[in-house]
Structure 1
Amino acid sequence: MTHPFPLPAEDRATSPYTGWTRAHWEAAADGLLAAVTPYATPGRALYQLPGHRPSWSGTRSDGLEGFARTFLLAAFRVAGARGADPHGLLERYADGFATGTRRPGGDGPEDWPRIADRSQPLVESASIALGLRITRPWLWDRLDDGVRQRVGAWLTDALTATPVPTNWELFPVAVGGFLAEADVETEAARAAVDRGLARIEPWYTGDGWYSDGANRAFDYYNGWALHLYPALDAWLSGDTERLARYGQRLAAHLADYAHLFGGDGAPLHQGRSLIYRFAAAAPLWLGALTGHTPLAPGTTRRLASGALRYFLDRGAASGDGLLSLGWHGRYEGLVQPYSGPASPYWAAKGFLGLLLPEDHEVWTAREEPGPATAGADVTRAVHGPNWLLQSTTADGLVRLHNHGSEHLPPPGDPDQDDPYYARLAYSTATGPAPYGAAPDNHFGLLSGDRVSLRTRLEPLGAGDGWAASRHHARVVGEERPDEVRITGLVLAHGAAEIRVHLVAGAAPGHPVRQTGWAAPDEDLRSELLPLHGLLTADPLPAATAFSGRAVTPALTGETTGGAAGDLFVCLARLTAEPDPAPLETLARVDVAPADGGYEVRVAWWDGAAYRAHLSERAVRVAPAIPAPVSRS
């Protein structure tokens, strides 16, 4: 693969999995920063990157975003080199600080917009404050007094600005931590830190996971915001009591988080703001930096370097070295209303590892395999979000079965589920079909060309090889839209999944549809086999972040309106194995009415067996007496 900027030769002795070392991270940072240099305004206060319409915040706000996020990358690069700055990065950004704060809120072409309630400049203030904090001896302390006063005054507005009640609550924490250290509005700065930390506390669900606000949105904001800012502020402050608290949570999170990376380095494709790409490496480095991680040093570097290389090898930085709005290359399905041309540069957070000295064991240890390639297939219950993770070593794929995460519909469009939160499953090699397309990995009611929404999700637990939930199925435009309840269960083993859905409250004769993985028509195999209540239907085309030609298998059925509800069961598989065993040989499933619901008995090909009871009230799953399935 030819990259848009030069990289050192691979080192397969130290890094047998990725070939990449600290030198590759430094070269990547240098290349990304060199690529944005031509797009700085004359006074270097804004970076107006090409290639996209302005975000809903406006052109100058987008330019500030370009300054802030690339400055954070420059700060990691220089602070990691202990102040060495051969490319003059800090001089460049010092000029920008002087220019942008001359008339904050003015109408000049380089005047920074003021930080206001729920404004994009509030987001960017966190990157600016963190960058100033970690480069303080080489930048802040050397700025002219007048510039320091103006920058401090601009940042001070973040201490009292009202955030969106999500991870935004932590942006004043980042600003307050720096200002308190710099003796600027110290009392207000410390109050902002305490207030922000208190506001995220109710969102901690335990086991290392936060919801992103008072909802059930679980995603990468756990790693690149909700863990990052509290733990990093405590570490930078030397507050051992707070670091112990947030570090313990971080370590618990990383025990699950390490399982979200595929054998090819890809992070799991789920949640919003995926254009930040290798920012997914930030919590891995944070664990090593703070000393709160369950991962071996070689595993940390393998996962982080694998993520960086995954994207750079696949065109995330275009021919001119600029990060595009997308996943591999540009992809409109990931562009959100707040996405500006410089939004992808929050990927800078992934370079947090440069703060670790070059002789730290995370850089010197030999790479070790990540969980997806560690020698055994894994199914892992993640209890905070109520997920089931499933990985297979034969192809390095990771799959997430989602029975606990949801998200509000997109702004102005209450008639669609959010494809990045509401689907039944996600993976490291497939992307959800975007808004407006027939949803992949979905089970619901059909009404003409509409499908029901997965609303009011209620987790019902996750355990050894299974996860379950209940939700209301709302078909847009129908009367009494919340009357139908769907209880869902997945049982996973190897690369195979059994998907079970119990529909209650539906009128007789209502069509239902089950869809599988939206997989590219090359390299991957996506299959659905009907087992109970379903028949094979025509596959559904879609374009995803991975392929302009993905195909989603589909099954259809029909409700009877029975007193115990209607049960629908299928066998599914997503695999990249070149010659997998026939899907029908992987499991035997028996279904029978039982105790006001249904009993489902599953016997896997290798002798593992389960017995599940589903009713509208509950789901119970337990191991059963092994009964090997014949593959003859």
Structure 2
Amino acid sequence: MPELPLPLPPEDRTLSPHTGYTRAHWEATADHLLASALRYTTPGHALVDLPGPPSKSGVRSDGLEGFARTFLLAALRTAGASGKDPHGFLERYTAGLARGTLSPGRDDTESWPVIGHHGIQGQPMVESASVALALRLTAPWTWDTLPAADQDRVERWLRGALTHTPAPNNWYLFPLTVAGFLDSVGRGDTETRRAVERGLDLLDGWYQGQGWYSDGDGRSFDHYNGWALHLYPLLHAHLAGDRRLLDRLGPRLREFLDGFALLFDANGAPIHHGRSLTYRFAANAAVALGALTGTTPLAPGATRRVLSGALRHFLDRGALSADGILTLGWYGPHAATLQRYSGPGSPYWASKGFLALLLPPEDPVWTAPEERAPAEGPDRVLALPAPGLLVQSTARDGLVRLHNHGSYKLDSREPERAPGDPVYARLAYSTRTGPTSAANTADNHIALTARGTRSARIRIHPLAAGPDWLASWHRPVFPEGGPVLPSARIESLTLARGRLELRVHRAVGVPPGTPVHHTGWAVALPPEAAPAPEQPDEITLAGAEVTGQFLGLYGWHTRRVIRAPEGTAYGPWALLPELTGTVGDHPSATVFAALASLTAEPGPPPLTGQVTVEVDDLVLTARWADGTRTVVCLGDDGPTVTEEPA
């Protein structure tokens, strides 16, 4: 395929001083994405077979995924333009609807796969939600133009989502979305009502507070909160004009956005945490949803700043291939960013990021001057005890870090297995670094060594919280066939101040003599940038965009720099610092403390001298350079933290 350069209009630095982007840039990007993807449609337009390795669901399901997710983008683009469709996108999708549902399940060029149970041809259920939502948004120009027989066939295919079992998580919102569409076109019944009520009841059960839902049973908190758990039910309520449901769910979204909007870097990047990161700027869908439904704490100019910042961030950094296709990765292709369910059409869930196009051109989100993003405000530390997340942003560089003391991808029925998922198991994530792969040494990790193997952090249990700190514990889990330490646990606490992170750990029930390893931030660097083997007390790794620093404060006796040859989503090769100590007999010998920093400021001052610590039994006293004293008591009922100002 020939190269297709992205044709963007001139920047408008008067209206949008931070990004230069306006609504016209969003429309041009949507048109470019659609025109590029639709070159890969089958002759009858029923499948979009994008280039790339197939997902575990197979190429037929992948072709439906390409159709459904780009159809959603076309729907947002045309519905936001009151049906104007100068490129004829909807005509092609309408033809594909009729052809794909003519004989579902047949092994021909065009037929869609039937919808099955999760784990048994279940991926089409995911795509049914995009098809249904796109039809709901464009009904006058798609659904209403179909002959009655074609409508009946589309309905029969969609109803497969109502009669099969979803995955025990956000998947239950896909039948809700299908049912909402069928209700909206006069085809609702007891089955559709049951699907909506079931989804909403489960949603209430997953709500944990502070605007955050767990993605099913357990404590899975990630971007699915925004682009699924808030999006589907609240957009359904908005489109249905259901005031009661809006009043029930809207305040949760408002509270969610109060913290979540802080998770976008000044450079536009969303936080790099959790699965399905190849959906990229879909992360901003909840920000647009807040504006669309009137349930946002953000001013219109700040809303557009976050939205356009995320879109531009990825467009500027190679998310599109030369022929205009969203790649499977983060910036460019990156295999470690993907899951087994990721196929060539998967990145087009990024379509959800275009939700703001449903706001009319005269809406203040499009007409108000851009304001600063929340991360560009004063330095902030925000504790979110409900999901167990501590957010840390610094104004001078606009960088955001997320300290994880409560999110993991495992439900109550699943056993803990090493090595753990890198996008959940780490102590910290940021908007400018990514975790190392499971095959390399884990960054931002605390581990024990037993019989030559290192432990993993799988289930993360919240322990205690304060305004600028969070604590949790986990059971050290070794690879299958490895050692088992019956009553061992590691308690971890992070306290954030400016760019600094005080990390305190306690080994409980761990045999004396057991080695303990603690790693810091993984910084993408070229191989020739590797530092000399002999390191001072403080390890500094200076990359092109960020500098990572790591200093052992208490309990460590060796330090080194480790290579991560598989790199991260931010570079093909990375380095990370590591401290090593040993668990002792005395209570104070079970305590370990380190100071970490990740910053984009050039030439940051050393960590040495920023804080000193003393440990007496299970009481750690930290004295900061400004004279403030922080006392951490590591008791059996969980830690407490008190601070005495200078």
Equivalent in the alignment of 1:332: 335
Distance 1:171 1:458 in 2: 30
What amino acid is aligned across from residue 44 of structure 2 in structure 1? G
Distance 1:164 1:257 in 2: 25
Q: Does 1:583 align with 2:585?
A: no
Q: Is the 8 A contact 1:43 1:110 kept in 2?
A: yes
Equivalent in the alignment of 1:568: 592
Distance 1:589 1:87 in 2: 65
Q: Among 516, 519, 525, which residue is 2:520 paired with?
A: 516
Deviations 1:544-583 (A, max 9, x none): 0001121111100011143576001111111111121211
Under a length normalisation based on structure 2, what TM-score does the superposition of the two structures give?
A: 0.93
Equivalent in the alignment of 1:43: 44
Instruction: Name the SS of the counterpart of 1:426 in structure 2.
Output: strand
Deviations 1:469-490 (A, max 9, x none): 1111122334433421111111
Equivalent in the alignment of 2:634: 614
Q: Does 1:493 align with 2:515?
A: no
Q: Among 588, 599, 603, which residue is 2:623 paired with?
A: 603
Q: Is the 8 A contact 1:444 1:453 kept in 2?
A: yes
Instruction: Name the SS of the counterpart of 2:423 in structure 1.
Output: coil
RMSD: 1.7
Deviations 1:186-208 (A, max 9, x none): 32112111111112221100110
Amino-acid identity (%) = 53
Q: Is the 8 A contact 2:285 2:354 kept in 1?
A: yes
Range with greater deviation from structure 2 (93-102 or 557-566):
557-566
Under a length normalisation based on structure 1, what TM-score does the superposition of the two structures give?
A: 0.95
C-alpha deviation, 1:415, in angstroms: 2.4
Equivalent in the alignment of 2:239: 236
Range with greater deviation from structure 2 (537-546 or 292-301):
537-546
Distance 1:122 1:148 in 2: 18
Equivalent in the alignment of 2:56: 56
Q: Does 1:384 align with 2:386?
A: yes
Equivalent in the alignment of 1:401: 403
Equivalent in the alignment of 1:630: none
Distance 2:11 2:134 in 1: 30
What amino acid is aligned across from residue 10 of structure 1 in structure 2? E
What amino acid is aligned across from residue 223 of structure 1 in structure 2? G
Equivalent in the alignment of 2:165: 162
Equivalent in the alignment of 1:29: 30
Deviations 1:99-128 (A, max 9, x none): 101101122221111111110000000000
Deviations 1:112-154 (A, max 9, x none): 1111111000000000000000111111111121111110111
Instruction: Name the SS of the counterpart of 1:164 in structure 2.
Output: coil
Distance 1:227 1:461 in 2: 27
Deviations 1:235-270 (A, max 9, x none): 111110100111110000000111100110000000
Q: Is the 8 A contact 1:446 1:452 kept in 2?
A: yes
What amino acid is aligned across from residue 393 of structure 2 in structure 1? S
Distance 1:485 1:408 in 2: 18
What amino acid is aligned across from residue 361 of structure 1 in structure 2? P
What amino acid is aligned across from residue 497 of structure 1 in structure 2? E
Gaps of 5+ in 2: 526-542
C-alpha deviation, 1:464, in angstroms: 1.9
Range with greater deviation from structure 2 (542-551 or 263-272):
542-551
Q: Is the 8 A contact 1:502 1:616 kept in 2?
A: no
What amino acid is aligned across from residue 294 of structure 1 in structure 2? P
Q: Is the 8 A contact 1:517 1:526 kept in 2?
A: yes
Q: Is the 8 A contact 1:57 1:338 kept in 2?
A: yes
Range with greater deviation from structure 2 (376-385 or 62-71):
376-385
Q: Among 191, 194, 202, which residue is 2:194 paired with?
A: 191
Q: Among 111, 135, 153, which residue is 2:156 paired with?
A: 153
Q: Among 417, 422, 428, which residue is 1:419 paired with?
A: 422
Q: Is the 8 A contact 1:41 1:110 kept in 2?
A: yes
Q: 1:535 to 1:563 in 2, by over 3 A?
A: closer
Distance 1:67 1:553 in 2: 45
Q: Is the 8 A contact 1:408 1:418 kept in 2?
A: no
C-alpha deviation, 1:448, in angstroms: 5.8
Structure 1 residue runs of 4 or more that deviate by more than 4 Å after TM superposition: none
Q: Among 544, 568, 571, which residue is 1:547 paired with?
A: 571
Equivalent in the alignment of 2:537: none
Equivalent in the alignment of 2:556: 534
Q: How does 1:53-452 map to 2 (within 5 A)?
A: 54-118=54-118, 119-374=122-377, 376-408=378-410, 414-447=417-450, 450-452=453-455
Distance 1:158 1:100 in 2: 16
What amino acid is aligned across from residue 121 of structure 1 in structure 2? P
Deviations 1:365-393 (A, max 9, x none): 1111112111x211111122111111111
Equivalent in the alignment of 1:503: 507
Gaps of 5+ in 1: 627-632
Deviations 1:205-235 (A, max 9, x none): 0110001111111000000000001110011
Distance 2:627 2:113 in 1: 64
What amino acid is aligned across from residue 574 of structure 2 in structure 1? A
C-alpha deviation, 1:462, in angstroms: 2.5
Q: Is the 8 A contact 2:444 2:521 kept in 1?
A: yes
Distance 1:28 1:34 in 2: 10
Q: Among 454, 468, 473, which residue is 1:470 paired with?
A: 473
Deviations 1:422-478 (A, max 9, x none): 100000000000111110000010236632122442201322221101111122334
Q: Is the 8 A contact 1:379 1:493 kept in 2?
A: yes
Distance 1:3 1:610 in 2: 57
Tell me the matched-pair count. Answer: 619
